[in-house]
Amino acid sequence: MADHKISTLLKGDIPLGETVTVKGWIRTRRDSKAGLSFIQIHDGTCFDPIQAVAQSDLPNFAEVVQKLSAGCCVICTGELVESQGKGQSREIQVASIEVPGWVQDPETYPMQPKRHSMEFLREMAHLRPRTNIIGAATRVRNCLAQATHRFFHENKFYWIHTPIITTSDAEGAGEAFRISTLDLANPPRDDKGGIDFSQDFFGRETFLTVSGQLNVEAYCCAMTRVYTFGPTFRAENSNTSRHLSEFWMIEPELAFADLNDDADLAEQYLHYIFKAVLDEHPDDMAFFAKHVEPTAITRLENFVEKSFERMDYSEAIKALEKSGRKFEFPVTWGMDLQSEHERYLCEELCERPVVVMNYPKEIKAFYMRLNDDEKTVAAMDVLAPGIGEIIGGSQREERLEVLDARIKEMGLEPDVYWWYRDLRKYGTVPHAGFGLGFDRAVNYATGIKNIRDVIPFPRAPKSADF
């Protein structure tokens, strides 16, 4: 007999009276010595577990049912019936139950039916998917990922599998992890005494990618609309609730587009994926609203309904100056916006996501398009209340001579970017794109504060267990 997913059984599509089989793990067991055992079984397919009721006349009641504890893996068959108790509409009247996996020594099983600290759960990264909160976060994360692909597919973007291994760390996005098969204890040396990377696996220095942008631009200049969605690696010593050493980034790139088109895309995209969560995961969101962040649902509804505020960097500076606030970092034109400034703009001034556009060129990357004022570049950051910068993007410099000037201005070596420059030589096109921290989007959707709690097996400085 085919087994049933708990989500299907609880939804009510299966008629009462039918014999069903569920396969999953025990959350709790509550006993009645009068002859009943109530067993909560979950299988990850939805927030709620299903209740299985075992009567004492089952042949294995004493030896099996009475010994079930949290975490046991069970296969349970019985009649789907209307529940006599409160708290659930339907339940399973157990006809047979078997246990493929007992919990050895229940005393040592760390997952208790109570609230654990997020720090403790992080140390139990292999068992925490069995909890309400991580289970819900896992489903929401999946929903956001599926919605991402759906959104881009519906809008004629191609998913480009840009390489994980890159040959340059000069992409201007932070420190990279080196990849090498050289003998660390005794590496080959060149005639200057440096390490001879020509003898390394790829015959040159290689790193884990810090961004797929440069590569995806090449595909953009042929396929028109493209995006990347994959793991990204930064070897920064960042110890915050918003940074990971390994995280997932989404980088769309669209041709025949300027900065405003880019901001439009960012807004449509975020609206789309957060609406998907609201539509598809009301149970999980209700849990987050109850136990994690009281405004989880309302602020997401707000986010989806309201358009983003847009302002130039220069306007943002004026607004900060006029705020009458005493900021720790004084506000002057030309500085980079600090966290406190970003928070004021989106949380207090506008009370909604804010797109800040056209930053001073000195504080932005070489590939961002120089504006006509020659002081600013067509860059944008999307700032979300409660989470800060969630998107960073720009219109790309499509004019070769301007790009070369910018590369030199920043002390970089044009030859390194030979193929990137080729894109400007051969049929260049105005284009724009952005990078979105996927894990930060999961933080925002769930209300979970720490990025290490929305990704399976987080990697961060001094932290790569499991």
Partner RNA sequence: UCCUCGGUAGCUCAAUGGUAGAGCAUUCGGCUGUUAACCGAAAUGUUGUAGGUUCAAGUCCUACCCGAGGAGCCA
How far is 278 from 149, CA to CA, in rounded Å?
17
Judged by CB under 7 A, the stretch of 77-85, 138-146, 184-192, 215-223 that binds RNA is: 77-85
Q: Which of residues 381-400 bind RNA (CB under 7 A)?
A: 388-392
3-state secondary structure 184-238: CCCCCECCCCCECHHHCCCCCCEEECCCCHHHHHHHHHHHCEEEEEEEEECCCCC
CB of 334 to RNA, least distance (A): 13
How far is 326 from 6, CA to CA, in rounded Å?
54
Q: Which of residues 180-199 bind RNA (CB under 7 A)?
A: none
Per rule CB under 7 A, is residue 107 in the interface with RNA? yes
Count of other CB atoms within 10 angstroms of residue 115: 10
How far is 458 from 122, CA to CA, in rounded Å?
8
Q: Which residues have a Cβ under 8 Å from the Cβ of 430 and sit 6 or more positions away? A: 255, 256, 257, 258, 395, 398
CB of 136 to RNA, least distance (A): 14
Q: Which is nearer to RNA, 107 or 183 (CB)?
A: 107
Per rule CB under 7 A, is residue 128 in the interface with RNA? no
Q: Which is nearer to RNA, 119 or 305 (CB)?
A: 119
Among 44, 110, 129, 360, binds RNA (CB under 7 A): 110
CB of 3 to RNA, least distance (A): 21
Q: What amino acid is encoded at 402 in this protein?
A: V
CB of 174 to RNA, least distance (A): 5
Q: What is each CA distance from 381 to 269, 307, 402, in whole angstroms?
A: 15, 15, 23
| Crossing angle between the packed helical segments 282-291 and 259-280, to the nearest 10 degrees | 90
CB of 131 to RNA, least distance (A): 9
CB of 52 to RNA, least distance (A): 9
How far is 340 from 332, CA to CA, in rounded Å?
14
Q: Which of residues 283-342 bind RNA (CB under 7 A)?
A: 329, 336, 338-340
Q: Which is nearer to RNA, 187 or 392 (CB)?
A: 392
Per rule CB under 7 A, is residue 89 in the interface with RNA? no
Alpha helices in 114-207 (DSSP H): 118-123, 132-154
Count of other CB atoms within 10 angstroms of residue 392: 16
**244 to 283: interface string for RNA, x by CB under 7 A:** xx-x-x----------------------------------
Among 115, 150, 204, 325, binds RNA (CB under 7 A): 115
Name the DSSP class of 369.
P
| Crossing angle between the packed helical segments 438-446 and 132-154, to the nearest 10 degrees | 120
Q: Are 43 and 76 in contact (CB under 8 A)?
A: no
Q: Which is nearer to RNA, 91 or 284 (CB)?
A: 91
Main-chain phi, psi angles of 189, to 5 degrees? -115, 145
Per rule CB under 7 A, is residue 119 in the interface with RNA? yes
**What token pair was written down for 211?**
């961004």
Judged by CB under 7 A, the stretch of 241-249, 263-271, 306-314, 409-417 that binds RNA is: 241-249
The H-or-E segment that residue 433 falls in is strand 431-437
Per rule CB under 7 A, is residue 141 in the interface with RNA? no
Q: Are 316 and 345 in contact (CB under 8 A)?
A: yes
Among 114, 192, 326, 425, binds RNA (CB under 7 A): 114
Helix (H, G, I), strand (E, B) or coil at 329: coil
Judged by CB under 7 A, the stretch of 197-205, 344-352, 401-409, 455-463 that binds RNA is: 455-463
Q: Given the structure tokens 């299907």, which residue do they identify?
A: 8
CB of 374 to RNA, least distance (A): 22
Per rule CB under 7 A, is residue 241 in the interface with RNA? yes
Q: Which of residues 201-230 bind RNA (CB under 7 A)?
A: 211
Q: Which is nearer to RNA, 36 or 319 (CB)?
A: 36
Judged by CB under 7 A, the stretch of 238-246, 267-275, 278-286, 401-409 that binds RNA is: 238-246
# chain residues binding RNA, by CB under 7 A:
73
Per rule CB under 7 A, is residue 240 in the interface with RNA? yes
**23 to 62: interface string for RNA, x by CB under 7 A:** -----x-xxxxx-x-x------------x-x---------
Per rule CB under 7 A, is residue 117 in the interface with RNA? yes
